[in-house]
Amino acid sequence: MSSILSIENIKKSYHVVQALKGVSFEVPKGSVFGVLGPNGSGKTTLLGILLDVLKADSGQFEWIGYPNDFTARKNIGSLLETPNFYHYMTAKDNLILTAHIKERGLEDVDRVLQQVNLYERRDSKFSTFSLGMKQRLAIAGALLGKPDILVLDEPTNGLDPVGISEIRDLIRSLNQEGITVIMASHLLDEVEKVCTHVAILKQGVLLSSGPVSHVSNDEEWIELSASNKQTLANALTNNPLVKSIRVEELIHIVLQPNASIEGINTYCMQQGIVLNHIQKRKRSLESKFMEMTK
C-alpha cells in the first residue's frame, strides 16, 4: 500500500513544554489512520501542523502524490474544532454558507448531505439536530469540494453511544468510497473498531505505528482455569512450554514459539489437572496501549 503522507522528525514546543519530540511515520493511501494517545500527547498539535494551522519547530512532512502544498490542501477536508453553525439556519443553508466561505463546493451541498445521511433533514434547523447529527453535518462541511483526504480531531468526542456508532459507520462508508481518513482520538475501542492503521503517542513521543493488527496482536496468550487455580498455577510456573504467566481471575499464559495449546492441555492432563476453560486470545489495542503508556 503506497503512502499518502510522510512525516519526518516533527518537533514542536510551547515555551518549556515539548508537545512533539521528533515524530516520524507514514500514512498509507486509502487507510483509516488513527493518531491515538491520552490528553496532552500531542495529537491535536500534530494535526494542526499537518493542516498548516501551526508551524513545526523542525522536521518536515509531505503529502505524497500532489505537485505542491497548495494542491494538497485543496484536496484535504478537515474538522479540528466543535461544529460552528448557526442554530437558526437549516442544515442546507449552513452548508451553503460554509461553501461560500471556503470558496468551493457550492455544487456539492446536496451530495454531501446525502453522503452523511442528512439529506432528508436538509430543511431542518440546526438547533433541532442531535449531537451526532451536528457532528455529521460538520463532516459534511469538510467534504465540500470532494477532498481525497479527511482529517478529523476527536470526531466522536462528547457523543452518546448512538452518535458514536453513526460517526463510526460514516467514517467506514467514506473510506470505502476511497477517502483516506486521518483521525485523532483517545477512545481506544473506537480506534480499534474503525481504524486500519494507528500511531500511538505519549507526551509527544511516538511509541508505535503501523497496522492495528500488527501493533496490537504481536503476541497471543492462553486463558486457562481449573477447579484448583493454585495447583494449575504451580504446575505451569517454570514449565518449559510457558514463556510467561499471570494469575488473575483466570490464568493467562504466553507460550514459547515451539509450544501449542494442545501441548499445554496434554501436559495438564498428565499432571492430573482437568481444565474447565482453555481459550486462545489475541492482545487488544487497549491492552497494548495501556502497557505502552502506563
Residue ranges of the domains in the chain? 3-214, 220-293
Task: Please state, in angstroms and rounded to a whole number, the distance separating the CA atoms of residues 112 and 96.
Answer: 11
- pLDDT score for 81: 77
Provide the pLDDT confidence category of residue 191 given band limits of 50, 70 and 90: confident
Q: Which residue is associated with the grid cell 514542536? A: 12
Burial of 136 (0-12, 13-18, 19+ CB in 10 A): buried
**Fold agreement (3-214, 220-293):** no
Question: Which pLDDT score, from 0 to 100, does residue 149 have?
Answer: 97
Q: Judging by beta carbons within 10 Å of its beta carbon (0-12, 13-18, 19+), is residue 159 exposed, middle or buried? A: buried
Q: Which of 109-113, 195-199, 219-223, 259-263 has the lowest mean pLDDT?
A: 219-223
Query: pTM surpassing 0.95?
Result: no
Radius of gyration of the chain from Cα atoms? 24
Instruction: Tell me the fold of 3-214.
Output: Rossmann fold (3.40.50)
Q: How far apart are CA 69 and CA 67, in angstroms?
A: 7
Q: How confident is the model at residue 49 (pLDDT cuts 50, 70, 90)?
A: very high
| pLDDT of 217 above 80 | no
Give residues with Cβ within 8 angstroms of 169, minimum separation 6.
none
Condensed to tens digits (0 to 9), the pLDDT of residues 91-141 reads 999 999 999 998 889 999 999 999 999 999 999 999 999 999 999 999 999
| Tens digit of each residue's pLDDT (9 = 90 or more) over 54-92 | 999 999 999 999 988 889 989 999 998 777 899 999 999
Smallest CA-to-CA distance from 234 within 261, 224, 221, 283 is with 224
What is the topology classification, in CATH, of domain 220-293? Alpha-Beta Plaits (3.30.70)
SS3 for 180? strand
Q: How is residue 219 written as a grid cell?
A: 503476541
More confident position, 39 or 145: 145
**Predicted local confidence at residue 39, as pLDDT:** 85
